[in-house]
């Protein structure tokens, strides 16, 4: 009942006081000394803070209850805040008790003296309790209370002034006791409020028992105060640091807990996983998708199909995960949108004030102050909105990258072939980036219609139904824009396909660059890339036409709306006059309309692009996954391992039982399914029927060793806990001790990407050591002995694999071509065409006397294995001690490189302008000047129109006024169209030139560059940086020029209207420039750091993709996911400060814009007597839009400066050192050169690079035409180096090589390389047809190609394929066995058939029978050619003309095999080891 009475009293008081406020307008408004009525002061004004606090309290308590940050110890600050809170409560209730005292004195004070002190007292008590509750919940700075104290002070300022004025006026008159008491308590109350407000601005100490954080460099954002967060003041120290010195990794703050990859992706997948019962496999297995062990379970449920072919929606998953946080930003956007309509209303009041010459001056100052306050509030709120949006975007990118990485670890091999590394990297970089770009402006989707409706409502108020004409124009533009958006989307899809295929091709080219150089195939592949690029730019050009049309429509739309509205308004009734108030309030509303109308098409286009990206990501995430249950892990029979598999392409009806602890050898011809059998045991194959069961943990040694970009020790430990004794024993067993002595940093040497600085044999032994160290139950060894010396192979078999090796008692399945070890194995499995043809022990197979026994008898004596030699990639083995820091330094090379140049030099901008064309650049600037001149002209004309006198209720010359206004506006639109199209064309031209220069340089770059530079880094130039130049820089320049000229024209208009403004423009311009320079230094370095930290994400990803089978075999998915997450977090650590730096700058620069609004209004008020309403309207309406323009100019300036880094990075890689010219016209050799095939080395020495030791020293030898030379020597002797010198992959340090008397150093590289033939060590294939892989230039006929295939024993395989020569090879030739790939390299050699053939250990991966056939082919087909063979099996070179034995880069022996054996030197020892002497 009491509450009802209070509420009734409250309502009556409000009505009464509002009535009195307006009734006493002479006291409140129409006076030079305004005041508020006592009733209004004591009720509404006094209650506003209380209403705010009580309304916010339930929500705030809910928030505090959910967020536990520990508690804060009672500090002096907290004690003082509580003390002053209690005093405020006491002072408020002192008034209440005094009112009761008056009642007892038989004086009846008004009810307000009871209600107001009661309400305020309770509120103060509540605020005091809240101070303590916040302390217990760990809140260091309370935004709710700061706003409360601020409102309290603000609402007390009016009464405070009134009391002082009243006291001064009544000084002579004796005041009664009651009035004096209330005045005294109010002064105390006011002072206490100010103290409380000041105290609340300070933050408390960090809380105790907060969730433990071991961060060495935590972000100050977490502990910053409310005001600091509101203005991003906490970032200032970082901006100062970036301005003073170059930023480094150690300067970056740790990520907030909510932004860390691990937390985002886990929440992402938990939220978005479809219901468990809905998840099924598309194959026969009905198990729910969950890995056993520590596999990447987070990503998996997200990615599978549901029953009834319903797929889980990736979009819904993203909305559920990131939506709530994003909605907070949307709330800020709503407030900002509503605030943006306050200023046009204030402008209307200001123009009325200027017209009314009798109005009190304080009105003008109040309007100016309100305009300033409103714009400041808008600034603070809009930047909070952007902060939430950009952080959401950042989290989105993290989530998408994490999910794609996790998915790539579980997709099937067939799915992996359909999505290449290049395409998936594109998903990670470009598509994830599209989501980020969209999120920043996604709120415009609802904000644009809201702003449009509000603008139209206020326009209706001003101009009536005429505004419908404007609406009609807007409606007509919608279908046009929709058509543009649909077409843009189609172009986007097409362009992404071209981009994907270009990146995929570049990825392969960079992976096989050495082969391209050896074969002189660069021009063919360069043409392919340029053809794709041409199509990509063609689509971009089409998009440019559309974008220009779109820009024309959307720049002209606010003007067209204004024109039609004004024209209809004045023409429909001649009594409708266009005065300044109507025109400029309408114009400021049209300017508000301009932003949503301009953003909407961009948003629609972004949505179109992002939906394409979403489909691509969804498609990748819905790829088939390996069935984790296809290999049973249960015990099947005591100590047995069993498999029965049927597969359509590779394996048929396999029945195999491997006893526990047995050593089983798998043998067979090339391509018979040996590796596939191991893949099936690992669960890497698609199981169509039967069962595969494995008991215990598995270690796997693949045929091509997979080495990580880490130290050698880390490669062996592979995440296991170190055990020094065991580790040393394994190094000994795997024959790695000798290698460690040669390596510059021992086992701490950093191994390059793909094991680039290890020889093939060393890579294989590291891979084997990794398996042995893992102490697994089962070892699957895919031909690990093929790449090592015969004595090393024997050592490894005896010490590791064999019956007495480290692995004795373990189950071992060994795929091998080496038959010397077969007598020592327990069982032999013979495969033929994907089936088991024979099975049994060595003796049993001999007794069966089938094909295998025949094979054994033929090849039993032909066994020898020679380790492949250090390739040209090995830069570090031969380093002098002072040079050994190179590799460690190289790891951070790009970081140092990027930070060397702190200033983005003007040369980079000039470089881009040159690429665009300087003339076009000047034309673009001129067009922008014309465009803005037309815009100013139209508005000045409108201002003049509004000042035209009204005669008899009408204005004259209306038609002429409309005609000129229309002409100026349409001229502006036309110039916009021309300028945006010219700029787009210039941008495309620049993109073409920059890409062409980069591509040409990379094809001419020496091999040494690729040996020391990770592929990911180069790919990053071709993907991310080219994307920036194609699609980011031109629109950024467009936006920059637009905002710059708008800001410039605003200054011109304001100074022309109120010349006094020129006084403040200089300090404001200085402040603006200084703040921006301050920021750009920091922002640009952050961008550089972000670019540098992005490459490792892609490098690690490429590495992971190539080693997925190894990672899965060792069940190391979890740790690899952690590594990827860490790399993404390192990248986001650079990106997050750059988001905040934009906000930090935006607030400070927009403050300059807000000052412009304030001064434009103030000077209009001051110069009221000399100004007309039209000029004031023009000046202030321009000032109101400058804040937005300044904000965008800042962002686009920084975007431009940070994105232009892409030009710098591409320029840097376009100007790296190049090798010798491909063709030297006046030094071209004869067409039939070399006709004899004579080779001569004269005092020849070579080193890998300046500063390194010589690898070949003073070689002198002569090879006659048609001789067959075998080259042998231990690892590091210089065998491969010698072949690389022939191709000039390495250039001579001194001396020369002559071929048929021609100095090879004098002719062009392509003339040299195209006349020599090599069958390289690593068989490299490119995705494309088989025919393209054999003959990329289409020089040979089909008959010649088939002949080459027949001679290389591939004809049977190729003719069995449906598409024959058009058979599609997948990326890296992964759908062919290593042996088949080697045979394709032989076919290439047979096609070229030059007079000199080099075989670089070309038969390492081939079984003995095929090797025999190849040797026969070489002997017959290259009978009259000079053949240099780096020997793999000594028996293949025993019949050669001469043998060259290299030792430590010098010729140790060079004679016929017979003489060398007779002389009992080095070669004799090697032949003896192989059983050939």
Q: Give me the phi and psi of 1069, to 5 degrees please.
A: -65, -40
- Is residue 837 exposed (0-12), middle (13-18) or buried (19+ Cβ within 10 Å)? middle
Looking at residue 333, its pLDDT comes to 92
Looking at residue 592, its pLDDT comes to 78
Looking at residue 29, its pLDDT comes to 66
1048 vs 1069: CA distance, rounded Å:
11
How many Cβ atoms are within 10 Å of 811's Cβ, its own excluded?
24
Helix/strand number for the chain, H first, E second: 54, 22
842 vs 822: CA distance, rounded Å:
7
- Crossing angle for the helix pair 342-355 and 1173-1203, to the nearest 10 degrees: 150
Looking at residue 587, its pLDDT comes to 75
Give per-10-residue mean pLDDT for the chain (1477 aa).
46 50 55 69 80 86 77 81 84 78 72 81 86 80 84 83 71 59 82 86 73 66 82 86 82 83 68 35 33 36 41 80 88 91 85 77 84 88 90 89 88 76 78 84 87 86 82 77 79 85 85 83 86 89 85 78 83 76 79 73 79 86 81 56 46 78 83 81 79 84 84 84 84 81 76 73 85 86 78 81 83 82 84 82 79 67 38 30 30 38 64 84 87 84 74 70 84 86 87 88 83 80 85 85 84 81 81 78 80 83 84 86 89 88 85 83 78 75 75 75 81 82 81 82 82 80 85 76 83 84 83 83 80 82 84 81 79 76 83 81 65 77 83 75 84 84 81 71
Cα separation values, 1295 from 871, 1014, 1303, Å: 21, 32, 10
Q: What residues contact residue 461 under an 8 Å CB cut-off, 6+ apart?
A: none
CB contact at 8 A, 583 and 492: no
Long-range contacts, stretch 880-888, CB < 8 angstroms, 24+ apart: 880/1251, 880/1252, 880/1253, 883/1251, 883/1252, 884/744, 884/745, 887/744, 887/745, 887/749, 887/750, 887/752, 887/757, 888/745, 888/750
Looking at residue 170, its pLDDT comes to 58
Looking at residue 334, its pLDDT comes to 92
Torsion on CA atoms 517, 522, 523, 529, rounded to nearest 10 = 180
Which of 1182, 1192, 1146 is CA-nearest to residue 381? 1146
CB contact at 8 A, 1288 and 1221: no
Question: What angle is formed at CA 399 by the lines to CA 397 and CA 400, rounded to 5 degrees?
Answer: 65
Residue ranges in 1033-1167 assigned as alpha helix (H): 1033-1057, 1062-1106, 1108-1113, 1117-1166
Looking at residue 899, its pLDDT comes to 40
Question: What single string gives the DSSP state of each residue in 1242-1257?
Answer: EEEEEESSTTSPEEEE
CB contact at 8 A, 189 and 156: yes
Which of 476, 437, 246, 267 is CA-nearest to residue 1086? 246
Q: What residues contact residue 816 under an 8 Å CB cut-off, 6+ apart?
A: 665, 666, 667, 783, 785, 786, 822
pTM, rounded to two decimals: 0.70
251 vs 1473: CA distance, rounded Å:
59
Token representation of residue 649: 């392409």
Token representation of residue 242: 């970036």
Per-residue pLDDT reduced to its tens digit, 961-1001? 888 888 888 888 888 888 888 888 888 888 888 888 888 88
Looking at residue 830, its pLDDT comes to 85
Q: Which residues of 1128-1161 are buried (b: 16+ CB within 10 A; e: fewer)?
A: bbbbbbbbbbbbbbbbbbbbbbbbbbbbbbbbbb
Which of 501, 489, 510, 509 is CA-nearest to residue 531? 501
Looking at residue 901, its pLDDT comes to 42
1017 vs 1103: CA distance, rounded Å:
13
343 vs 1180: CA distance, rounded Å:
10
CB contact at 8 A, 1252 and 875: yes
Per-residue pLDDT reduced to its tens digit, 275-323? 333 333 333 333 332 333 333 333 333 333 333 455 677 888 888 888 8
């Amino acid at each position: 009942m009491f509450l009802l009475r209070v509420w009734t009293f409250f309502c009556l008081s409000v009505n009464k006081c509002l009535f009195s406020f307006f009734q006493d307008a002479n006291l409140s408004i129409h006076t030079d000394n305004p005041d508020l009525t006592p009733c209004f002061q004591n009720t509404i004004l006094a209650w506003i803070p209380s209403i705010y606090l009580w309304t916010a309290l339930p929500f705030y308590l809910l928030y505090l209850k959910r967020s536990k940050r520990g508690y804060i110890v009672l500090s002096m600050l907290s004690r003082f805040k509580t003390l002053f809170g209690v005093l405020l409560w006491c002072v408020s209730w002192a008034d209440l008790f005094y009112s009761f005292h008056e009642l007892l004195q038989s004086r009846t004070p008004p009810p307000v003296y009871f209600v107001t002190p009661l309400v305020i007292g309770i509120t103060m008590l509540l605020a005091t309790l809240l101070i303590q509750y916040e302390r217990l919940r760990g809140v260091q700075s309370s935004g709710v209370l700061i706003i409360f104290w601020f409102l309290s002070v603000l609402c007390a300022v009016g009464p405070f002034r009134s009391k002082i004025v009243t006291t001064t006026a009544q000084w002579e008159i004796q005041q009664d006791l009651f009035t004096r008491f209330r005045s005294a308590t109010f002064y105390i109350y006011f002072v206490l409020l100010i103290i409380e407000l000041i105290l609340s601005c300070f933050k408390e100490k960090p809380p105790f028992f907060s969730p433990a954080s071991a961060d060495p460099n935590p972000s100050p954002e977490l502990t910053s105060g409310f005001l600091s967060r509101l203005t991003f003041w906490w970032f200032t120290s970082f901006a100062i640091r970036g301005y003073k010195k170059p930023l480094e990794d150690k300067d970056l703050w740790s990520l907030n807990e909510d932004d860390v990859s691990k937390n985002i992706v886990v929440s992402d997948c938990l939220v978005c996983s479809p219901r468990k019962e809905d998840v099924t496999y598309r194959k026969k297995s009905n198990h729910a998708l969950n890995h056993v062990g520590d596999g990447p379970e987070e990503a998996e449920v997200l990615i599978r199909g549901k029953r009834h072919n319903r797929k889980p929606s990736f979009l819904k998953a993203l909305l559920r995960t990131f939506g709530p946080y994003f909605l907070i930003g949307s709330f800020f956007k709503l407030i900002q949108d509503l605030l943006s309509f306050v200023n046009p209303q204030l402008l209307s009041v200001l123009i009325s004030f200027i017209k009314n010459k009798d109005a009190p001056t304080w009105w003008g100052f109040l309007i100016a102050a309100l305009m300033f306050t409103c714009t400041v509030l808008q600034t603070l709120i809009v930047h909070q909105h952007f902060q939430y949006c950009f952080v959401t975007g950042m989290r989105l990118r993290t989530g998408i990258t994490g999910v794609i990485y996790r998915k790539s670890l579980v997709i099937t091999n067939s799915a992996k072939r359909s999505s290449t590394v290049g395409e998936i990297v594109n998903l990670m970089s470009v598509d994830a980036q599209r989501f980020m770009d969209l999120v920043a402006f996604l709120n415009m989707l609802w904000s644009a219609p809201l702003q449009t409706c509000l603008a139209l409502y206020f326009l209706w108020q001003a101009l009536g139904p005429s505004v419908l004409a404007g609406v009609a124009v807007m409606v007509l533009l919608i279908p046009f824009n929709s058509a543009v958006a649909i077409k843009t989307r189609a172009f986007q899809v097409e362009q992404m396909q071209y981009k994907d295929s270009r990146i995929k091709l570049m990825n392969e080219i960079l992976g096989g660059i050495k082969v391209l150089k050896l074969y002189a195939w660069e021009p063919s592949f360069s043409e392919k890339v340029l053809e794709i690029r041409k199509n990509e730019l063609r689509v971009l050009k089409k998009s440019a036409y559309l974008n220009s049309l779109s820009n024309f429509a959307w720049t002209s739309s606010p003007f067209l709306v204004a024109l039609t509205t004004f024209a209809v308004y004045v023409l429909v009734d001649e009594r409708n006059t266009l005065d300044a108030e109507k025109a400029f309030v309408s114009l400021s509303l049209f300017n508000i309309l301009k932003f949503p109308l301009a953003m909407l098409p961009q948003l629609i286009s972004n949505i179109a692009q992002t939906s394409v990206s979403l489909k691509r990501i969804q498609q990748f995430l819905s790829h088939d996954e390996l069935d984790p249950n296809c290999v049973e892990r249960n015990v099947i029979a005591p100590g047995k391992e069993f498999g029965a598999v049927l597969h359509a392409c590779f394996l048929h009806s396999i029945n195999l039982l491997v006893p526990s602890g047995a050593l089983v050898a798998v043998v067979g011809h090339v391509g018979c399914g040996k590796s596939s059998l191991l893949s099936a045991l690992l669960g890497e194959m698609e199981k169509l029927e039967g069962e595969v069961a494995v008991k215990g943990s598995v270690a796997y040694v693949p045929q091509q060793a997979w080495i990580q970009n880490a130290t050698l020790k880390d490669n062996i430990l592979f995440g296991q806990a170190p055990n020094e004794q065991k580790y040393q024993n394994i190094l000994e067993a795997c024959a790695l001790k000798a290698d460690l002595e040669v390596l510059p940093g021992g086992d701490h040497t950093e191994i390059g990407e793909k094991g680039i600085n290890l020889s093939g044999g060393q890579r294989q032994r590291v891979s084997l050591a990794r398996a042995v160290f893992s102490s697994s139950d089962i070892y699957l060894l895919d031909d690990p002995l093929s790449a090592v010396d015969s004595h090393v192979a024997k050592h490894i078999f005896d010490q590791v694999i064999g019956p007495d090796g480290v692995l004795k008692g373990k189950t071992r399945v060994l795929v091998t071509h080496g038959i010397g070890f077969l007598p020592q194995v327990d069982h032999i499995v013979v495969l033929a065409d994907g089936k088991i043809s024979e099975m049994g022990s060595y003796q049993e197979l001999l007794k069966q006397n089938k094909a295998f026994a025949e094979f054994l008898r033929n090849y039993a004596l032909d066994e020898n294995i020679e380790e492949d030699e250090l390739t040209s990639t090995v830069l570090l083995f031969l380093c002098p001690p002072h040079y050994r820091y190179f590799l460690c330094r190289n790891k951070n090379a790009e970081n140092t490189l990027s930070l060397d140049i702190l200033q983005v030099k003007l040369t980079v901008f000039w470089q881009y302008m040159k690429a665009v064309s300087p003339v076009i650049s000047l034309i673009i600037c001129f067009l922008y000047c014309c465009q803005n001149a037309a815009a100013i002209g139209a508005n000045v004309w409108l201002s003049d129109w509004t000042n035209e006198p009204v005669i008899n209720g009408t204005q004259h010359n209306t038609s002429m006024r409309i005609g000129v206004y229309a002409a100026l506006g349409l001229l502006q639109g036309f110039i916009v169209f021309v300028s945006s199209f010219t700029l787009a064309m210039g941008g495309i031209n620049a993109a073409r030139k920059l890409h062409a220069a980069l591509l040409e340089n990379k094809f001419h770059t020496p091999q040494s560059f690729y040996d020391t530079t990770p592929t990911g880094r180069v790919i990053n130039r071709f993907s991310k940086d080219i994307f920036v130049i194609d699609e980011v820089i031109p629109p950024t320049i467009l936006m920059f020029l637009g905002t710059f000229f708008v800001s410039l024209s605003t200054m011109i208009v304001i100074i022309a209207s109120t010349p006094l403004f020129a006084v403040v423009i200089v300090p404001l311009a200085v402040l603006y420039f200084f703040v921006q320079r301050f920021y750009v230094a920091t922002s640009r370095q952050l961008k550089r750091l972000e670019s540098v930290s992005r490459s490792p994400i892609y490098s690690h990803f490429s590495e992971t993709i190539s080693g997925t089978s190894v990672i899965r075999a060792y069940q190391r998915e979890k740790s690899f996911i952690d590594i990827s997450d860490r790399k993404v977090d390192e990248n986001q650590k650079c990106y997050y400060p750059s988001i905040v730096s934009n906000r930090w700058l935006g607030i400070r620069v927009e403050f300059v814009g807000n000052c412009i609004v304030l001064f434009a209004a103030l000077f209009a008020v001051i110069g009221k007597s000399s100004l007309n309403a039209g000029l004031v309207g023009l000046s202030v309406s321009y000032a109101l839009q400058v804040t937005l323009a300044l904000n965008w100019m800042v962002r686009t300036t920084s975007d431009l400066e940070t994105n232009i880094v892409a030009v710098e990075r591409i320029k840097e890689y376009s100007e790296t050192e190049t090798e010798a010219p491909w063709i030297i016209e006046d030094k071209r050799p004869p067409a039939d050169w070399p006709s004899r095939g004579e080779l001569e080395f004269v005092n020849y020495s070579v080193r890998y690079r300046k500063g390194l030791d010589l690898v070949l020293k003073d070689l002198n030898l002569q090879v006659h035409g048609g001789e067959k030379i075998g080259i042998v020597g231990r690892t590091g002797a210089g065998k491969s180096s010698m072949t690389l010198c022939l191709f000039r992959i390495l250039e001579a340090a001194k001396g020369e090589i002559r071929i048929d008397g021609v100095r090879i150093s004098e002719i062009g590289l392509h003339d040299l390389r195209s006349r020599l033939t090599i069958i390289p060590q690593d068989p490299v294939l490119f995705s494309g047809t088989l025919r393209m892989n054999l003959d990329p230039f289409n020089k040979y006929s089909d008959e010649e190609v088939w002949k080459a295939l027949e001679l290389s024993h591939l004809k049977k395989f190729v003719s069995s394929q449906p598409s024959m020569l058009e058979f599609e090879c997948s990326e890296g030739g992964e759908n062919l066995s290593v042996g088949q790939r080697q045979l394709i390299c032989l076919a290439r050699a047979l096609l070229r058939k030059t007079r000199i053939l080099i075989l670089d250990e070309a038969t390492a991966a081939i079984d003995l029978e095929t090797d025999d056939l190849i040797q026969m082919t070489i002997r017959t087909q290259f009978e009259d050619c000079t053949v240099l063979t780096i020997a793999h099996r000594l028996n293949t070179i025993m019949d050669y003309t001469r043998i060259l034995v290299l030792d430590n880069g010098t010729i140790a022996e060079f004679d016929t095999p017979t003489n060398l054996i007779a002389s009992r030197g080095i070669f004799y020892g090697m032949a003896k080891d192989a059983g050939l002497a």
